[in-house]
Structure 1
Amino acid sequence: MTEIVALDDVQNSEDERRLAIDKVGIKAIRHPVRVRDKSDGVQHTIAEFSMYVGLPQHFKGTHMSRFIEILNGNEREITVESIGPMLREMVARLEAETGVIEMCFPYFINKAAPVSGVQSLMDYEVTFIAELREGGEYVFTMKVVVPVTSLCPCSKKISAHGAHNQRSHVTVTAQTRGFLWIEELVQLVESQASCELYGLLKRTDEKYVTERAYENPKFVEDMVRDVAGLLNAEKRIERYVVESENFESIHNHSAYAQIVGDKRSTV
């Protein structure tokens, strides 16, 4: 019979530096997830998880293996409903007061082309962030990166023929107070672009999106202001950050703008 030898638990030993660590944990581990789909009910995808806790000053280290145990000990496919209880379990098991779980995943929306109606999938990068802050406050944040088309108003004004346009990424990070469909946030952003993007276009569709963008020019500043205006009107969003990065077609740099909105102080 193999003799069981007690091993030292170094992580639980006392640390003499008396410096608490704000976030310690694991990054970039993949796991299956199940996300609500507004059209089809549910969508199965793979998320990249990052899991952190705040480490009290008296602990030398945290138990990294417990993060993996918690991730695998929950449902095989984690949902937005299970991420909160999983976060609280993580904080309790690691004897912490604060914690964060981030899950980043590709999300697919079926879109019909504007003229031909041909359907195709568009993918969007979505991140769910669940936080347990000091005092037990639970905060849920949704982040969506939406690719769109932007066309330069200045180029249109000064050019005899055409105007330069580019693909842009509009990123909205929204702290919510109620359930909000991913599709709702995506559509909110797309409605304020020079034109939205599609996975598949026929010639009639290409004509439409080209002319649509030309008739609806937007600076990067216009983009964030117009999106922020709709976010301000959305009662289910308490706080937000809206960013737009335009990958310039006539420069070797991007144009960028950001607005941070916090409606909690006005409620």
Structure 2
Amino acid sequence: MNWSCDIQNFEPDVKISLTRVGVKNLKKLIRIKRKNKRPIILLSTFNVFVNLPSSQKGIHMSRNPEVIEEIIDSALEKDSYEIEEIGAEIVKKLFEKHNYATEAEVIMISDFMVKEKSPVSKKLSQEVHKIIGGAKGRKEGEKIKITKIVGAEVIGITACPCAQNLIREISAKNLMKLGYSKEEIERILDAVILATHNQRGIGKIILEIPEGYNVEIMDIIDIIKKSMSSEIYGILKRDDEAYIVEKSHKNPKFVEDCVREMAKHIVEKFSYLPDDTKVVITQINLESIHRHDAFAEKKATLGELRKELCEII
């Protein structure tokens, strides 16, 4: 046997195609340019894949583990203003290196630091959100169709509507026993902040958009933040704490409400994106009085979301 030959090009013993083969959890520093501002430096975790035909044993990963890193390093040398553009560039280079592949995908997940002011005292703190970027590519004859991936994951707070309604009913009965009229009870309950249990909520939006369209990552972050009962902050003074508690209790939301709010805001904000834009929205509430967590999800195209919302209107 010729031991110097490329064993990855041999036929496999079991001749079936593989959907995705590649590397996960590869960490790289990436540089995002900004007009008239300092660039943003992100420590990103990369997951990079190509598909593999049934006739090919491997993707040249074991013999040349540096191939994937070389592709990423080469793409990162170019100036870029968007993480999803870096993903598109990596996908194109993957096809150059792996000419047997008809599909390629790269996902980057980064911690994104932004300075935000607390709501009352206006204290500045660094807030961390996760941003998601990347691209998918598909060979169609001689052409490569690129779909960009952009998204974010944000932590906020939610207040439970169900428990709050139970507290309202109990409070109304107690006030009635004390001799208050129904009209007085309604005025009292509308004036006070009613107790409920809270949970830290994790909202996520991922959009898959065609080349030629762009989405501002801060727009996605803002949509997620305002779809929960309240934002949370790194530094809070007493007045800030009171403001957030009051705001969240006046704006109680189920996990399902958060996903529906995000869907509505996506349709409103991204009216310029085409109907075939894929949308994945998820919300996880880390329950405080239950042993389980609550989860809700919506997967649809932007066109399907527009149609559903129009039917409601």
TM-score relative to the length of structure 1: 0.90
Alignment correspondent of 2:105: 100
Distance 2:155 2:234 in 1: 11
Instruction: Give, in angstroms, the shift of residue 195 of structure 1.
Output: 0.4
In the superposition, relative to structure 1, how do residues 257 and 30 fare at CA in structure 2: closer, same or farther (>3 Å)? same
Instruction: Give, in angstroms, the shift of residue 16 of structure 1.
Output: 5.1
Distance 1:184 1:153 in 2: 27
Determine which of 226, 242, 257 is the counterpart of 1:207.
242
Determine which of 186, 209, 214 is the counterpart of 1:176.
209
Instruction: Give, in angstroms, the shift of residue 239 of structure 1.
Output: 2.1
What percentage of residue pairs aligned between the two structures are identical?
25
Determine which of 125, 131, 151 is the counterpart of 1:126.
131
Structure 2 gaps of 5+ residues are: 172-193, 308-313
Letter in 2 for 1:243: T
Note the alpha carbon deviations across 1:138-180, whole angstroms, 9 max, x for none: 1111121111110011111111451111110011111235221
Distance 1:78 1:104 in 2: 19
Instruction: Give, in angstroms, the shift of residue 45 of structure 1.
Output: 1.3
Distance 1:197 1:78 in 2: 34
Determine which of 241, 251, 255 is the counterpart of 1:216.
251
Distance 2:10 2:244 in 1: 63
Instruction: Give, in angstroms, the shift of residue 54 of structure 1.
Output: 0.9
Q: 1:11–1:62: 8 Å Cα contact kept in structure 2?
A: yes
Alignment correspondent of 2:292: 253
Q: 2:150–2:208: 8 Å Cα contact kept in structure 1?
A: yes
Letter in 1 for 2:73: N
Determine which of 289, 295, 301 is the counterpart of 1:262.
301
In the superposition, relative to structure 1, how do residues 158 and 144 fare at CA in structure 2: closer, same or farther (>3 Å)? same
Task: Say which structure is richer in helix.
Answer: 2
Q: 2:255–2:283: 8 Å Cα contact kept in structure 1?
A: yes
Distance 2:129 2:33 in 1: 14
The alignment of Structure 1 onto Structure 2 pairs a total of residues equal to 263
Instruction: Give, in angstroms, the shift of residue 72 of structure 1.
Output: 2.7
Q: 1:119–1:200: 8 Å Cα contact kept in structure 2?
A: yes
Greater mean deviation of Cα atoms: 229-238 or 147-156: 229-238
Tell whether 2:24 aligns with 1:32: no
Q: 1:32–1:76: 8 Å Cα contact kept in structure 2?
A: no
Alignment correspondent of 2:75: 74
In angstroms, what is the RMSD of aligned CA positions? 2.3
Structure 1 gaps of 5+ residues are: none
Q: 2:164–2:195: 8 Å Cα contact kept in structure 1?
A: yes
Alignment correspondent of 1:13: 10
Alignment correspondent of 1:157: 165
Tell whether 2:195 aligns with 1:191: no
Q: 1:106–1:124: 8 Å Cα contact kept in structure 2?
A: yes
